[in-house]
């Protein structure tokens, strides 16, 4: 059984063009995702129990990112716009006007239980799941796949997800 649904050919190193999945059903993608691991970012420094929630709007996808930092819940709201002709695999996310960042879905479970998101330059990476915990062998398969696509496994940090709701 293939690990990645609708994936295009894997790339072998960081200089190759990063491929997304072939298509995404945005309605199935909506809802809450738990951050399992990421490349550390300055805007998530000190965060744990990080989630992302997506909701369809008439013109864009509403994004609500939450985490706990120093015991307090933090959240930021944004908008994601589908890149035309991308089959919903590439979005531009905006948390602060006028700046938009790339949000490319590069791996996706056929049942939409997990996803991998990046930027085309591979400077950002998130492994997301519908549940707080991911089975270790699945996690390792995902990491192995993204390493073959030019990502540095030494930069990947697991997100603490054992906070009380």
Has residue 142 been placed in a domain? yes
In a domain, 4, yes or no: no
pLDDT at 1: 32
Return the CATH number at 40: 2.40.128.20
Number of structural domains, the chain? 1
Note whether residue 14 is domain-resident: no
Q: What is the pLDDT along the chain (165 residues), one digit of tens a residue?
A: 333 343 333 334 444 699 999 999 999 999 999 999 999 988 888 899 999 999 998 889 999 999 999 889 999 999 999 999 999 999 999 887 778 889 999 999 999 999 999 999 999 999 999 999 999 999 999 999 999 999 999 999 999 998 765
164 in a domain, yes or no? Answer: no
**Residues contacting 41, CB < 8 A, separation 6+:** 124
Alpha carbon 45 to chain centroid, angstroms: 17
- The verdict on residue 1 lying in a domain is no
Q: Which residues of 126-165 are buried (b: 16+ CB within 10 A; e: fewer)?
A: bbbbeeeebeeeebeebbebbeebbbeeeebeebebeeee
Q: Is residue 69 part of a domain?
A: yes
Assigned domain for 119 exists: yes
pTM: 0.88
Q: Which domain holds residue 62?
A: 26-158
pLDDT of residue 5: 40
């Amino acid at each position: 059984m293939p690990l990645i649904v609708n994936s295009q050919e894997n790339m072998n190193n960081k200089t190759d063009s990063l491929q997304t999945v072939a298509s995404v059903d945005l309605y199935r993608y909506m809802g809450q995702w738990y951050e399992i691991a990421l490349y550390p970012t300055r805007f998530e420094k000190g965060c744990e129990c990080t989630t992302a929630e997506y909701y369809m709007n008439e013109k864009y996808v509403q994004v609500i990112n939450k985490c706990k930092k120093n015991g307090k819940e933090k959240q930021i709201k944004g908008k994601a716009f589908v890149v035309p002709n991308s089959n919903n695999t590439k979005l531009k996310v905006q948390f602060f006007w006028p700046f938009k960042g790339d949000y490319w879905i590069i791996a996706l479970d056929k049942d939409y239980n997990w996803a991998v998101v990046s930027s085309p330059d591979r400077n950002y990476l998130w492994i997301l799941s519908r549940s707080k915990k991911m089975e270790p062998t699945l996690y390792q398969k995902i990491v192995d796949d993204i390493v073959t696509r030019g990502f540095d496994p030494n930069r990947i940090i697991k997100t603490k997800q054992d906070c009380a709701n």
